[in-house]
Amino acid sequence: MSLHDQEQYSKNIKNYHPKTPYVWNSLKAFLVGGAICAFGQGIQNFYMSVFDFSEKNAGNPTVATLILISALLTGFGVYDKIGQFAGAGSAVPVTGFANSITSAALEHKSEGIVLGVATNMFKLAGSVIVFGVVAAYLVGIVRLIFRALL
């Protein structure tokens, strides 16, 4: 089969691909993602009023609470159903980060606790940590250099 045939093939098959409903997908992502953030705002207000956290410090327990809820929902199989509906709406909030850790760990449970659960836990979330740390490290160095020069 030549390269030309392959191009022809992808052209022919294009009509049979389901069309991506951009607007509907974005609306679902907006509603679910927004709801998760508004829920997070509620938790943050709770920590600020009940436990005397300042607005800056309240972010940490809020994120930890959201992660706990998301890990439990993943265990019950609920979060993955939300994910099928909401797409990026459930993947982009920090709950999606916890979901990727928990679901990767659960998926490999049959291979054992050490080689399955612990080894595969960061299979998906690892990229987030690696890119985050590398980017923050480089930006931090650039900022320190600028501060030294000015």
Partner 1 sequence: MEYFLAFAVGGAICVIGQLLLDIFKLTPAHVMSSFVVSGAILDGFGIYDKLIEFAGAGATVPITSFGHSLLHGAMQKGEEHGFIGIGMGIFQLTSAGISSAIVFGFIVAILFKPKG
Q: How far is the CB of 67 from partner 1 (least distance, A)?
A: 5
Instruction: Give the shortest CB-86-to-partner 1 separation in angstroms.
Output: 8
CA nearest to 93, candidates 81, 79, 107, 106: 79
What would you measure as the largest C-alpha separation in the chain, in angstroms? 69
Binding status of residue 115 toward partner 1 by CB under 8 A: no
63 binds partner 1 (CB under 8 A): yes
User: Which residues within the stretch 19-58 sit at the binding site for partner 1 (CB under 8 A)?
Assistant: 20, 22, 25-26, 28-38, 40-45, 55
* Cα torsion angle, 85, 91, 96, 101, sign: positive
Q: Is 40 left (phi over 0), alpha (psi -120 to 50) or beta?
A: alpha
Which is nearer to partner 1, 2 or 81 (by Cβ)? 81
Return the residues of window 68-107 that contact partner 1 according to CB under 8 A: 68, 71-72, 74-77, 80, 86-89, 91-98, 100-102, 105-107
